[in-house]
Structure 1
Amino acid sequence: QQTLKYAKQVYDSAEAGAELAKRMQGVGNFNRITRAREQAFYADAATRLSTAQHQVTASREELVRLLGLDESQAQALKLPERLPDLPKQALDPQAVGSLATKARLDIRLAQTALDGAAKAQGLNMVTSFTDIELTGRRNTTFDNAEGTRSTARGWEIDVRLPLFDWGGMQRDAMNARTLAAANQLEGTVRSAGSSLRESYSAYRTAYDVARHYRDEVVPVRKVIAEENQLRYNGMLISAFELLADARDQVGAVTAALDAQQQFWLADAALQASVIGRPTNTTLSVTTSAPSDAGAGH
């Protein structure tokens, strides 16, 4: 919905620019290539608007199917007009590790399977509580010869493997089912650490990128737009130079919306990973660089 609303604004601006360019060419003030640039932007904006309209319908209908709604319920379904704002701070890695320790269902199931297999064999097996620790890492390297400093940041997740109290029995005394359950638990714990590292890295990267667009890229573009508006009011630039700057802003705002969307997808993926249902998280890069067409004006 938020992308569609912005696509409509871009379309209206592009339509006005294309109409103005057509009239300017009609009175001999524009050449064909200048008019063609405005027409191309208008055509691209129309395509973006159509795509956004379909995406709204497709995503809504997908949600209707997932919820199993009938026609009347689907019509009553109300969705927000925009994405939630970014949280003031990203989730603390220690907090994520603590949640995972309590909520990883796959580890709980593996522990239960091992306990059941051991009891069925008549063994008394005690395992320690599995702890998952997630910490930040910051390594600073100094190059004395070059006089430079580089800083590398990352995230580490430590998973404490369960400690088995075998009660004096040998490992070969376990039957195949109990041994398989013990190996399954160990493998599950290792896999949990790997999936959490990946999910938290995607979450934190998406948060940093979205915050960068919110705090740096979009405000700078807003300042440029305000300054160009003042120059236009002072008759220092033409209407088409003002429109060219608006075209450059489209990439920045679109990239900011995409970054915000990717953050909330990464947040959902992290929450799923915390409870033991990890999902693939793919982060894509959307450029907000000014277009060549805009520079031509």
Structure 2
Amino acid sequence: MATIRKHRGKWQALIRRKGCPELSRTFTKKADAASWARQLENEAETRGLPHNLKELDTLSLGDVIQRYRDTITVHKRGRQTEETRIRCVLRQKIAKTQLANLSPALFCTYRDQRLRYASPDTVRRELSTLQHVLKIARQEWGIPLPSNPVQDVRKPPAGRPRERRLEPGEFDALIKACKICRNPLIEPIVRIATETGMRRSEILNVLWIDVDLAARTLHIPLTKNGHPRTIPLTTRATELLSALKNDDARQSFPMTTNAFRCARKRVQSRSELVCLTSAPMGQFEVIA
């Protein structure tokens, strides 16, 4: 089963077993080669031969990240956000590391370096994505990683929850800044958010077929938690949607997420509000 032979001035141990890939390793000393071969033979008697770990020397972390992006991320609802996160990780030095050289210490170094330039929440999400990438690689793609090194890495603590709300007069300043925008949809979106408590993604995906102005309800078929819901519309929200009603349009707010994000930054700058962000509770929070 095991063969020890001289190879290029060193000793090479070869192990062959029916139904398993050939394993080999080269040592300086013949005794070390024989010891390694005996160890694998003993393991083979109880668990079978391990996978051929040479595959780990031919693949980099970036290779499996790209495969994950092309086969897993593309089917997620939040694929645009994850693709952006993956592009950022692929630009990092760690993406060029061979799978055989991955270790918890390496990802700890990556975490500490990223925390110099990115927020703890951003780094936390990057590590979570990397952990799932390696989990899929081990469990579904048959890549013989001995363990998931990211699993043993301490994640940065979650950020503090947002607490500060708009003060008196700040909403007026916000609306005034919205009126200056060239895009006429910004002000209605802000007002709908405050009237309904809808998330940004939910508002931008509203279809007229889901709006019942007579019954004053709005159906949201796709929510963040995956469960559809129907919400009542206030008088003000009904009036806003009635003014926007267009029988020829499919979407109530035909606008991309990136376009709204850019407009939000301009509104924030004009209104002089600090760190303006849309919130699930229909408020526009101001974070100091």
TM-score (norm 1): 0.21
The structure in which a higher percent of residues are helix is 1
Which structure is higher in RCO with an 8 Å CA cutoff and minimum separation 6? 1
